[in-house]
């Protein structure tokens, strides 16, 4: 049997086919068997003869490669298309329009909430004497977070104001008049500022 004849026999074989059966049915192999080459002798040759085994393996590889290419041609693109559709389904224009409307409504809600929070924050800042031009920086996600932010602003603002007043009092070296001590044992900043202002006038 010629190599090309054997290759032709194996070309049509599937991966799961029994090679022994295919070779046993082939006319050239039958002729070889009739000439003294038995199936057992063929199997022995396939396992013991390196060159023969390498030839058989290369034929199997060619067949497997061809089967794979055929499968890719027939199936791969449809599998890719199905996966793409699964991951990125085609959207109906109505669905897109509905999604846009929902997004616009959500944005309007957020704007409305922000406007309400800003108005409340401005009212609180005005009542507490805080700078209203900073209110926009302290608006939170909801009323609670906005109130906390404003409390932080009030604390920092008050602390800074007290520190500034103390520094100015030190610079002016003000000493309170005798007999007019604060009953609580500390400085009353408002009265000190008023008295200081009267002296300047």
In a domain, 92, yes or no: no
Domain, as residue range, for 30: 3-87
How many domains is the chain partitioned into structurally? 2
Verify that 127 and 185 share a domain, yes or no. Answer: yes
CA angle 165, 167, 168 (to 5 degrees): 65
* The pLDDT value given to residue 101: 92
Per-residue pLDDT of the chain (201 residues; tens, 9 = 90+): 566 777 776 777 777 777 777 666 665 555 555 555 677 877 888 888 888 888 888 888 988 999 889 988 888 888 898 888 888 777 777 888 888 999 999 999 999 988 988 898 888 888 888 888 888 888 888 888 888 988 888 888 888 888 888 887 776 665 656 655 555 545 566 666 666 666 555
Place of tokens 């080459």: 37
Verify that 110 and 59 share a domain, yes or no. Answer: no
Last residue of a domain, one of 87, 116, 145: 87
The secondary structure of 129-144 as a DSSP string is T--GGGGGGG--SSHH
In a domain, 94, yes or no: no
* The pLDDT value given to residue 190: 67
Verify that 194 and 113 share a domain, yes or no. Answer: yes
* The pLDDT value given to residue 105: 94
Verify that 72 and 118 share a domain, yes or no. Answer: no
* The pLDDT value given to residue 106: 94
Contact 125, 131 (CB under 8 A): yes
Verify that 14 and 73 share a domain, yes or no. Answer: yes
Verify that 104 and 184 share a domain, yes or no. Answer: yes
In a domain, 125, yes or no: yes
Verify that 37 and 81 share a domain, yes or no. Answer: yes
Verify that 133 and 73 share a domain, yes or no. Answer: no
Gap between the Cα atoms of 79 and 104, Å rounded: 37
* The pLDDT value given to residue 109: 92
Verify that 106 and 83 share a domain, yes or no. Answer: no
Query: Smallest Cα–Cα separation from 26: which of 59, 58, 1, 54?
Result: 1
Last residue of a domain, one of 87, 112, 147: 87
pTM, two decimal places:
0.37
Verify that 159 and 191 share a domain, yes or no. Answer: yes
Gap between the Cα atoms of 57 and 116, Å rounded: 79
Name residues whose C-beta falls within 8 Å of residue 136's C-beta, 6 or more positions apart in sequence: 118
Place of tokens 């082939």: 26
DSSP state of 176: P
In a domain, 93, yes or no: no
Verify that 75 and 124 share a domain, yes or no. Answer: no
Residue 160 CA, chain-centre distance (Å), reads 43
Q: What is the dihedral of CA 104, 109, 112, 118, to 10 degrees?
A: -110
């Amino acid at each position: 049997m010629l190599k090309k004849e054997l290759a032709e026999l194996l070309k049509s074989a599937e991966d799961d086919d029994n090679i022994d059966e295919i070779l046993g049915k082939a006319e050239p192999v039958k002729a070889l068997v009739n000439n003294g080459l038995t199936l057992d002798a063929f199997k022995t040759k396939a396992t013991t003869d390196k060159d023969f085994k390498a030839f058989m393996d290369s034929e199997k590889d060619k067949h497997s490669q061809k089967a794979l290419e055929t499968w890719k041609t027939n199936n791969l693109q449809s599998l890719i298309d199905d996966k793409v559709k699964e991951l990125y389904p085609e959207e109906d224009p109505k669905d897109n329009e509905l999604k846009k409307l929902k997004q616009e409504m959500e944005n309007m809600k957020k704007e409305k909430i922000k406007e309400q929070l800003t108005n409340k924050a401005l009212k609180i800042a005005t009542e507490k004497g805080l700078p209203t031009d900073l209110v926009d920086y302290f608006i939170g996600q909801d009323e609670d977070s906005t109130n906390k932010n404003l409390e932080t602003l009030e604390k920092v603002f008050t602390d800074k104001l007290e520190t500034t007043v103390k520094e100015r009092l030190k610079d002016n070296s003000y000493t309170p008049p005798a007999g007019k001590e604060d009953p609580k044992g500390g400085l009353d900043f408002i009265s000190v500022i008023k008295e200081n202002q009267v002296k300047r006038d």
